[in-house]
């Protein structure tokens, strides 16, 4: 009798949890595109409000896209995701977190190569993935570049002020929006159909 009661209690809890989950608003992630060298991944993320993805180019090794807002005062994002076999070592796909300080120093140097008046720092996504963050200027335009390595793919997001932005500067709130965008990015393995 106790086993039957326990079974009904578990079933009731399961049904109530399912009903609660179904009542929550489900925000869909948008696919930026499929990429795959060792394995295929669908790159998905939740777009900031008012933003849409425009794929500029895509193949097995890389995806380049713009993420732009209808409101031209909001920042523009250029997203680049590219496989780099340097980050695939001993059968393991590396993240930025796995690299030595010397390797990270070389990456930092390459990121600031074309910038003036720059500063470079580190942040991390909600999942603990390290990000290098560079703030600088290209000509008179302020840009913020985010760089990371995930699953042997270099992920770069270059953020520029919107076309109609009058002061041409990115606010701390806008920078945090991009960190949230990167925190929400998923490399979902693509399940291959059986032959």
pLDDT digits (tens, 9 = 90+) for 143-180: 889 999 988 899 999 998 888 777 777 788 888 888 88
Going by the DSSP 8-state scheme, the letter that residue 49 receives in this structure is T
- Where do the structural domains in the chain lie, given as residue ranges? 29-189
For domain 29-189, which architecture applies?
3-Layer(aba) Sandwich (3.40)
Question: Strands, E, within 59-185: which ranges?
Answer: 62-69, 76-83, 88-89, 92-93, 116-124, 130-138, 141-150, 153-160
Strand pairing partners for 56?
none
Cα(59)–Cα(41) distance, integer angstroms: 12
At 114, list the tokens. 């074309």
Please answer whether residues 60 and 39 qualify as being in contact, where contact means their C-beta atoms are separated by less than 8 angstroms: no
> Residues 98-136: pLDDT tens digits?
999 999 999 999 998 888 788 999 988 877 889 999 988
Mean pLDDT over each residue of the chain, to the nearest integer: 79
Please answer whether residues 128 and 111 qualify as being in contact, where contact means their C-beta atoms are separated by less than 8 angstroms: no
> Residues 29-46: pLDDT tens digits?
888 888 887 678 888 888
H/E stretch holding 188 reads: strand 186-189
Please answer whether residues 65 and 32 qualify as being in contact, where contact means their C-beta atoms are separated by less than 8 angstroms: yes
47 pLDDT higher than 50 = yes
19 pLDDT higher than 60 = no
> Residues 54-103: pLDDT tens digits?
999 999 899 999 999 999 888 999 999 999 999 988 888 889 999 999 99
């Amino acid at each position: 009798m106790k086993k039957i009661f326990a079974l009904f209690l578990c079933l009731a809890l399961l049904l109530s949890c399912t009903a609660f989950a179904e009542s929550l608003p489900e925000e869909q992630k948008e696919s930026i595109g499929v990429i795959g060298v060792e394995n295929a991944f669908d790159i998905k993320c939740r777009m900031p409000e008012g933003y849409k993805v425009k794929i500029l180019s895509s193949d097995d090794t890389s995806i380049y896209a713009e993420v732009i807002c209808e409101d031209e005062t909001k920042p523009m994002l250029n997203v680049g995701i590219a496989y780099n076999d340097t980050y695939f070592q001993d059968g393991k796909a590396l993240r930025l977190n796995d690299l030595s300080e010397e390797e990270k120093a070389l990456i930092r140097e390459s990121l600031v190569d074309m910038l003036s008046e720059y500063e470079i720092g580190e942040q991390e996504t909600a999942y603990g993935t390290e990000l290098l963050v560079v703030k600088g200027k290209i000509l008179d335009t302020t840009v913020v570049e985010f760089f990371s390595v995930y699953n042997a793919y270099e992920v770069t997001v270059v953020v520029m002020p919107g076309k109609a932005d009058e002061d041409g500067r990115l606010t701390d709130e806008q920078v945090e929006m991009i960190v949230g965008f990167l925190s929400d990015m998923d490399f979902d393995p693509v399940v291959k159909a059986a032959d």
